[in-house]
Structure 1
């Protein structure tokens, strides 16, 4: 089991896009003795530090003692700002409470009409169970299991059922079409609902392109996502849904000598069915083109695949900040708690109600489970209170990623006396950090820091939201402030 978990996590690492973590603080971070000064203690010191950051927009924060729950200091603790991916920490708590640490998702191969002499008399169904970590290797194992069971022919239809969760075209409609971190969501997801696009210079002078569902072991080409090169400079990509096929075009002047990237899938069921059909064919089982199952009938179980347990998935989700995992896990928790949600926004509203009832987070109103939508709001006071409660229950801290302290040049300071386990959150002109810190003397604190320039973000055209002008430098300054606040709290409250 350990090797299987490691394989799944390494697969997530390869597929999950990297995101910027904390950058260098404005001053060298060194352990300092506790002292009282205008910059190191009291509310005046905190206000001065926030003012020196010279961030446009708003910066709010709160810090509390995890043992007593006492709020040690805050600035704008009741002011709600977009939490970005810090929201995933709350999603993790939601899933642990509603689904449990041992919960596993199940993907099944079913047959109607019975099986006799290796022949499926009715339909063969690929039934998604909400597993956000399903990949091509797992479908290959399911196809092999069919062959091992003696199945060689299907008389009826080949159906894909994705109705365990609502179908959503993109996590955040405000994102550019081509960004892999905002794919479609449904009850089935393959390779995080992303397709691999690769281009290489051909001997003819043009480019050779592939669209496939690759893992380290398999590279099945797909028919449900197609790419066409067009002679232009901009836009780099265009997208259209044509008869259930993701039809992309790419600008020839942007290709260079070669490269690759993961593009989002907008028709998850068709994509998974396309790939499974290819893998079944390689095992000698010919299937008709996949069709969507309107409902899930009574059927015979032929093969099944289980996801890793929930705690393993949540650790991966938080480490790699995978948006699709957060949305599927969050909606699965809502389905268990209140019935299948009608939409992503409805599911997030249910999680917000749960947070208010469980942790008193009355100022938190979310529109999704990943934090990708900038209409979500969370207060630092709300999050700090939830973190204190989670710490006492022993739930969240073991799942959080280590947040390294850095020097003035951005280099990680090995052996720094302050240890931090936290969830970062980054959108253009939005930066958040929430989690736990252990000071040099062992004092443990829970903290939340949110910064946002919503006016600057609102001015970004949709087509430029992947890398807008000015966002990188703003976010760098926001992350410098985060490290300075942690250093301050370690000095003031940790000795």
Structure 2
């Protein structure tokens, strides 16, 4: 009689033979990203480049790879690398209160995130000293060049297109509020205090345009189309005279603490004197992380100007391009600023992906970028893998650049630029042109599908 153990062993050996063993189906081939873009219904162009861990790309990893396209806010990823290399992550920018004879000076050091509450803390330091009231009060913003607006072609009222200088407050924007009765307020919004902005006025008017702006001596005047106000509401407006605005707010905060300052005057030159109060910005590394996360244009431009020392944004963009060129990168790029807001910047997805694969990897940019930035977006399919990337959005431009890591742990660098050139050119400067929301949603669906294909390709 066959021993039970011998029977089981024989049965196991039989089942283990190749002829009878259960076979797994062969793995599905990675989807071809080029075919994905060929069948989508997104009007315009879809360009992409995927570079493997070795920095190389196969033919199926490239589409319109050398076409010159507006980078939008993906430009901020390059700016982050430039600033990390030229300025370093440990630097801070200092706002000072200086006593120079009979003058008190509020001296900006180019802090892009200085807030009303920070000025309040400076006012408290000053009041605690028991200083005598000065005869003159000056504001100096010469640590950086004064630039009236980031992108002149953008609409005047857009809050993400403010003036730049070495003295900035609340991202150089003010809060406009209005009631159903038509009453308006303009404030320097803070968490602890929101003083009135006396150098900026707003009023309802019967006018064809939504907003109108004019400067008159030391004042900024906004008028808003009365028919568009409806009930109560609010929005942000850009500041165009930043030194006077910051000086006015500081004067109000000091007065609330019993320290009287005369009307502010803008200084072209910083006199020598004693620093009697100061405020330090966060570390540059922290500023970069927040700039990449919240895509703040003013922070990108200010950090880029600090890094380049240039007198204006086009010259600063050229110096950043020179930095790339010295590393053998940036072929065919046109860099007009550091935020990507300007209309004339251009680059290819291949060059952007090469920057990510080169200095991006060397400086560990992935740790500063948003993780899975398309997560939660209902459009497109699931992505098996991890993504660290910077988004970029303008009217009829939707871009993404960074790093994708497959479930097996292989990491590639990539760039995806979606653009509808004709509608983009027609919508420059508009706040919300017709059709842009649906087009952007469709572009993000394409990006999700491409990222899924990239992750599968790297597996």
TM superposition score normalised by structure 1: 0.84
Q: Which residue of 1 aligns with 2:247?
A: 273
* Residue 171 of structure 2 corresponds to residue 192 of structure 1: yes
Say which of 191, 195, 207 aligns to 1:220.
Answer: 195
Q: Which residue of 1 aligns with 2:85?
A: 97
Q: Which runs of 5+ in 2 are unaligned?
A: 1-24
Paired residues for 1:98-137 under 5 Å: 98-113=86-101, 122-137=102-117
Say which of 380, 384, 399 aligns to 1:417.
Answer: 384
Say which of 78, 89, 112 aligns to 2:66.
Answer: 78
CA distance in 1, matches of 2:89, 2:227: 49
Report if aligned partners of 1:212, 1:221 keep a CA contact under 8 Å in 2.
Answer: yes
Any idea what the Cα deviations from partners look like across 1:65-112, whole Å, max 9, x if unmatched? 23x222242122222211000000000001100000101111111111
CA distance in 2, matches of 1:291, 1:196: 23
Where 2:148 maps in the other structure, the secondary structure is coil
Say which of 28, 41, 44 aligns to 1:35.
Answer: 28
CA distance in 2, matches of 1:476, 1:163: 42
CA distance in 2, matches of 1:395, 1:282: 46
Say which of 209, 216, 222 aligns to 1:248.
Answer: 222
Query: Aligned pair count?
Result: 433
Report if aligned partners of 1:98, 1:333 keep a CA contact under 8 Å in 2.
Answer: yes
CA distance in 2, matches of 1:364, 1:382: 8
CA distance in 2, matches of 1:92, 1:33: 43
CA distance in 2, matches of 1:391, 1:346: 23
Report if aligned partners of 1:359, 1:386 keep a CA contact under 8 Å in 2.
Answer: no
CA distance in 1, matches of 2:377, 2:140: 53
Cα separation, partners in 2 of 1:304 and 1:247, compared to 1, 3 Å:
same
Report if aligned partners of 1:135, 1:190 keep a CA contact under 8 Å in 2.
Answer: yes
CA RMSD of aligned residues (A): 2.0
Report if aligned partners of 1:86, 1:433 keep a CA contact under 8 Å in 2.
Answer: yes
Where 2:183 maps in the other structure, the secondary structure is strand
Report if aligned partners of 2:154, 2:428 keep a CA contact under 8 Å in 1.
Answer: no
CA distance in 2, matches of 1:410, 1:475: 11
CA distance in 2, matches of 1:412, 1:281: 58
Any idea what the Cα deviations from partners look like across 1:260-283, whole Å, max 9, x if unmatched? 111100111111011001111112
Deviation of the 1:493 alpha carbon: 2.1
* Residue 32 of structure 2 corresponds to residue 53 of structure 1: no
CA distance in 2, matches of 1:244, 1:50: 53
Deviation of the 1:288 alpha carbon: 1.2
Say which of 308, 311, 322 aligns to 1:353.
Answer: 322
Say which of 395, 400, 417 aligns to 2:369.
Answer: 400
CA distance in 1, matches of 2:333, 2:428: 27
Report if aligned partners of 2:94, 2:111 keep a CA contact under 8 Å in 1.
Answer: yes
Paired residues for 1:261-340 under 5 Å: 261-335=235-309
Report if aligned partners of 1:35, 1:492 keep a CA contact under 8 Å in 2.
Answer: no
Deviation of the 1:144 alpha carbon: 0.9
Cα separation, partners in 2 of 1:154 and 1:33, compared to 1, 3 Å:
farther
Q: Which residue of 1 aligns with 2:454?
A: 489
Cα separation, partners in 2 of 1:33 and 1:331, compared to 1, 3 Å:
farther
CA distance in 2, matches of 1:410, 1:75: 22
Cα separation, partners in 2 of 1:275 and 1:406, compared to 1, 3 Å:
closer
Cα separation, partners in 2 of 1:406 and 1:310, compared to 1, 3 Å:
closer
CA distance in 2, matches of 1:403, 1:33: 29
Report if aligned partners of 2:379, 2:441 keep a CA contact under 8 Å in 1.
Answer: no
For the pair shown, which has the larger CA radius of gyration, 1 or 2?
2
CA distance in 1, matches of 2:66, 2:307: 27
CA distance in 2, matches of 1:34, 1:431: 33
CA distance in 1, matches of 2:184, 2:452: 49
Q: Which residue of 1 aligns with 2:415?
A: 448
Any idea what the Cα deviations from partners look like across 1:291-340, whole Å, max 9, x if unmatched? 111111211111111000011111100110000010001101111xxxxx
Q: Which residue of 2 aligns with 1:230?
A: 205
Report if aligned partners of 2:69, 2:346 keep a CA contact under 8 Å in 1.
Answer: yes
Deviation of the 1:34 alpha carbon: 5.1
Any idea what the Cα deviations from partners look like across 1:109-158, whole Å, max 9, x if unmatched? 11112xxxxxxxx2111111110000000101111111122213113x21
Runs of at least 4 residues of structure 1 off by over 6 A? Answer: none
Cα separation, partners in 2 of 1:58 and 1:164, compared to 1, 3 Å:
same
Q: Which residue of 1 aligns with 2:436?
A: 471
